[in-house]
Amino acid sequence: MKVTKSIRIGSRESSLAMYQARTVQKKFKDQGFHSEIIQITSDGDVDLVTPLYEMGIQGIFTKSLDSALLQDKIDVAVHSSKDIPTRLAQGLSLSALLERGTPFDCLVLPKGKTIELDKECVIGTSSMRRKSQWLHRYPHHRTENLRGNIQTRLSKLDHSGWNGALFAQAALERLAVSTHQFITLDWMLPSPSQGAIGVVCREDDAFARTICSSINHTWTELCISAERDFLAALHGGCSVPIAALATIDHNRISFRGNVFSLDAKDKCEVELTLNLDQAKDVGKIAAQKILELGANKIIKTFRPNFED
């Protein structure tokens, strides 16, 4: 393909967002495409006080970039794929997913500190999903709201007197954070799509969609699509404690998902494994199964109008 223009890559301004944008830029370069990065401020980066679950807005971290795409100010937008709503703005398409990093969350300790989990602890997080799973496992703990970019949250942790904070491990790994000890929480199911970098473009931009397809990682796409289908079927978003993880091994796709009550006391779980040729349906099948197991009753406690 003969390239006649520079690809405009839209990104949030944080260190993590810029790392992700540069990663996509390098992928484009490896395919022979020239690009430039354009920084755009998101609403989610401006309000660092209100907990995400209180905002109740789909795409709080993506809508500014969506607007720039639709106004033809950028050609592609790069996001943490977990931030991309299951229903994109009309005219936009999730066109590439890079190979997934670590999908799990981790417990980060204040610099130079240790933790005794059997004692009363205070844990920082702004995620209802993390909060619910943590308090279900450690009901004698309590949580405090923690917002901001990675560096801001690490600094607040060090000066808060808290015992730890919950982060996406992939974010710390991408920024090569070595100042703090962290513990992988492989028992905590992550947010659907966590650990992957997603690229969104306009549906009518054939050029952008073609170059995005050249950097897409097929197996990551299968897993992320399953998790997004699960979340969409349950009408979930950042304001509800819904988790999912799909993995592929030896031509089989395994899926785990759960739904927690807001008070962390009740949960409903689903787990299944299917042949890879059924991968496109696994998220929807898991959603139907978890609803049959009683997740609809939990969801209706915080979404009274939910219809399964």
Catalytic residue among 83, 105, 205, 229: 83
Question: Of 160, 157, 165, 159, which is closest to residue 141 (Cα–Cα)?
Answer: 165
**Angle at the Cα of 65 from the Cα atoms of 16 and 3, rounded to 5 degrees:** 90
Cβ-based burial of 192 (10 A; exposed 0-12, middle 13-18, buried ≥19):
buried
The upper half-sphere exposure of residue 243, i.e. CA atoms within 13 Å in the direction of its Cβ, equals 26
Note if 105 is an active site residue. Answer: no
Question: Of 97, 17, 72, 37, which is closest to residue 204 (Cα–Cα)?
Answer: 72
Q: Give me 25's structure tokens.
A: 């830029």
Q: What φ, ψ does residue 129 adopt, rounded to 5°?
A: -65, -50
Q: How far is CA 236 from CA 13, 54, 193, 293, in A?
A: 27, 14, 13, 17
Q: How far is CA 186 from the centre of its chain?
A: 16
**Angle at the Cα of 196 from the Cα atoms of 191 and 201, rounded to 5 degrees:** 110
Q: How far is CA 218 from CA 27, 88, 213, 214, 237, in A?
A: 15, 20, 10, 11, 24
| Number of residues assigned to the chain | 308
Cross-strand bridge partners of residue 78: 199
Active site residues: 83
